Amino acid sequence: MSPNKPLPLSAQNMRSRVRGHTGLGGLPVDLVQAAEFHRRGLERLGRSRATLQLYACYQNSFLRFLIEHDVEPSLDTLNPQFVREWQSWLRNRSQGRRGGVVSERQGVMTLKTWARYLLDNDVFPYDPLGRLRLPRVQKIHRKPFSREEVQRLVAAVSAGANPIRDRALVLLMLDTGCRVGELCAAEVADVDLGEGKIVFRRTKNGQPRVVTFRVANRRDGGPSLAALRNWLRLRDAREGVNALFTTRERWPLSTRRVREIFSELGEQARVPNCHPHRTRHSAATEFLAQRPGAELQLRSRLGHLSREVLSDYITISDPTASEIAEVASLSARWNL
């Protein structure tokens, strides 16, 4: 090895660098320290544990890439050339969706945000990744489920391994049009069985929303509300687990597991490309079929309105939640 070539970093001396001193003014002098500097800043800002883990995952991945290529992780290695090479390295090792391109895009977004943070905190005199473009991810256009497909899925649920839980899961997604992440993040306390409402607190736009799914003209409140009552009678969870939907091991049901459940149901019901997000497309399509032009009502229910637009909309229209729920309930209209 050339005497001028930097020695590769081991995990041990990476940790020693993190514990070491930073430069003048407490600023980091290399990327290992810059990652720790960023972590402490995020903690001061009160960022969630999941956010901290996301940044650590991709920052450590980039550092491992540098180590494998015998590159000292100086601050100037956070540059477009190395990041582009890291993208290919990351994509080839990813076991995620769409051949690793989703992970690649998330990784580049994370590094770009990290670079901006270092700029804002006087570590860099300019944004080193400011002109780096995000990789494109081809958008998947998912078709809504047909009535016949949903009926076959519900029949497959009844013959499945966890019929009571999975029936409540499928019907609630159909009637609320929620995202799978929103439902998996919901807790028991977020549901009002008397009113037939659920609060989705962890949403894509960060704004909690209340969705009514009780059908007023049905004594039981409609199939999804009845199914949810049945599930909550049997639901079991470990101490401290408040998730609305849990596994047989009594842990919170993950988004990955929900996708697997839909995939398994699709195979049994002979429904191709069975993905939970198709329930959201079904809810939107059927709602507009029943109420043509009621786009604002639909966007309000699905969480596609900003707080300002939603405030103006409610002032002008003020639709009753029960009326919207009756129109939106696919489970009641399709006799599921």
- Is the pLDDT assigned to residue 320 strictly greater than 70? no
Give me the CATH code for the 11-120 domain, please.
1.10.150
> Which residue, chain included where needed, has tokens 């402490």?
40
- Is the pLDDT assigned to residue 2 strictly greater than 50? no
250 conformational bin, left if phi > 0, alpha if psi -120 to 50, beta if neither: left
Question: To which H or E segment does residue 249 belong?
Answer: none
Class assignment of domain 147-333? mainly alpha
User: What Cα–Cα distance (Å) separates residue 181 from each residue in 185, 201, 221?
Assistant: 6, 11, 25
What residues contact 245, with CB distance under 8 A and at least 6 apart?
165, 168, 169, 183, 184, 186, 231, 235, 252, 253
Residue 18 banded pLDDT, cuts 50, 70, 90: very low
> Which residue, chain included where needed, has tokens 């596609």?
304
Domains 11-120 and 147-333 share a fold: no
Give me the mean pLDDT over the 15-26 stretch.
Answer: 46
Q: What is the mean pLDDT of the chain?
A: 83
Three-state DSSP state, 189: helix
User: What are 152-179's pLDDT values in tens digits?
Assistant: 999 999 998 899 999 999 999 999 999 9
pLDDT at 323: 62
pLDDT at 102: 79
252: phi then psi, degrees, rounded to nearest 5: -60, 140
Residues of the chain above pLDDT 70, percent: 82
Which has the minimum average pLDDT: 16-25, 74-83, 116-125, 264-273? 16-25
pTM exceeds cut of 0.75: no
160: phi then psi, degrees, rounded to nearest 5: -85, -175
Which has the minimum average pLDDT: 49-63, 87-101, 212-226, 240-254? 87-101
Three-state DSSP state, 200: strand
Any idea where the domains of the chain sit in the sequence? 11-120, 147-333
- Whether 7 contacts 25, CB under 8 Å: no
- Is the pLDDT assigned to residue 309 strictly greater than 50? no
pLDDT at 187: 95
Residue 99 banded pLDDT, cuts 50, 70, 90: low
User: What are 253-291's pLDDT values in tens digits?
Assistant: 999 999 999 999 999 999 999 999 999 988 888 888 888
